[in-house]
Amino acid sequence: MSTFTGIAHVAVVVRDLAASVDWYRRALGFEPVGAVVPGPAEAGHPRQVLRHAGSGLALAVHEPLRRSGDRFDPSRTGLDHFSLAVPDRAALDGWVRHLDGLGVAHSPVRDTGYAEFVTLTDPDGIAWELWVSRP
């Protein structure tokens, strides 16, 4: 079996495509790649691919036509959160200032002893962390 070379993309399901794309642009710096596409007929939902220029990470934002309408819940089986690595504490502090400037709610910087991080959620409650590992 060969190894993985990285993460190709992360896909999230949202209630409002336009609102979520706007939030990911403003809060985390992702930019749209192309136009919203309808997606394959069997999937039944439009999607917008976003890319973060600094890291190259791709994010696919999906809005199912037949969706539940509920918010994300990290206590259900499945995904708990996404964590994005930042290079150092100065970069983490820069993100905190950026989020504060936008009025995006986030946790205080938390210290685990082996890392420092800030948590925030998108408009659907999907949890994200900005994470600095300690050597």
Q: Residues 75-116: pLDDT tens digits? A: 776 788 899 999 999 999 999 999 999 999 999 999 999 999
Single-letter amino acid code for the residue at 105: A
Distance CA 99, CA 58 (A): 21
Backbone angles phi, psi at 96, to 5 degrees: -60, -45
Pick the CATH number of 72-135 from 3.10.20.740, 3.10.180.10, 1.10.630.10, 3.20.20.80: 3.10.180.10
- Strand ranges inside the chain, DSSP E: 10-13, 30-32, 47-52, 58-62, 82-85, 110-111, 115-121, 127-133
Please state which CATH class domain 1-70 belongs to.
alpha beta
Backbone angles phi, psi at 45, to 5 degrees: -160, 140
Q: Residues 7-50: pLDDT tens digits? A: 778 889 898 999 999 999 999 999 999 888 776 666 667 889 99
